Amino acid sequence: MKYVMIFDHPYTLSAANNEPHHRSYSAAIAKQTINYSTAQGHEVDVIDLNQDRFDPVMHAKDLSAWRTRTPINDQVDRYFERLKAADEIIFIFPIWWELMPAMTKGFIDKVFSKNRAVSTIPGWSSKRTQSSASSRSPARQRFSTSSSMAIPL
C-alpha cells in the first residue's frame, strides 16, 4: 500500500529526534508512523510543507487560477500528482486554537482546487447527502474520516 503523508510543523520532520528546544510531538508521531508503515512493507511518501517552503496564501493570481480551473503553480501540481498515486492520505499537524495550522488549510485550498478532487467510485456525488451513518454508500465510507490506521507509539 502507498501512503502519502502531509506533515505540517514549523520545525519540520527533523524535530522528531527529541532534541531540547527543537522537538515536536507531531514530528514524533509522523516518524513513528513512517517507521511502522515501512516495517509493514508499505511505501510512505512524505510531503513536509515547511521543509518544502509551501506558500499557503491564496494570492490574487492564485485565486484567479483557482476560479478558472487553471494550474496555480508547479509545486501544487506535483503535490496533486503525488496524492493521486496514494492509496491512503495521512495528515499530521498540531491543533492550534482548535484549528489546523494555516499552512495545512492553504494546502487543502490550493491542492484540492476546483475540478481536481474527484471520486473514482461510480455514482458518488459530493452533493449527495445521507440521512444516517448506517445508510452510507461505499463512496461515503471511503471518504469518511472514521477509518484510520492505529499506530503504536
pTM here?
0.74
Q: Using pLDDT thresholds of 50, 70 and 90, give the confidence band for residue 123.
A: low
pLDDT digits (tens, 9 = 90+) for 8-38: 998 888 778 777 777 888 999 999 999 999 9
| Residue 106 confidence (pLDDT) above 90 | yes
pLDDT digits (tens, 9 = 90+) for 68-102: 888 888 999 999 999 999 999 999 999 988 999 99
- Domains along the chain? 2-122 (3.40.50.360)
Residues 6 or more apart whose Cβ sits within 8 Å of residue 41: none
pLDDT digits (tens, 9 = 90+) for 41-67: 999 999 999 999 999 999 999 988 888
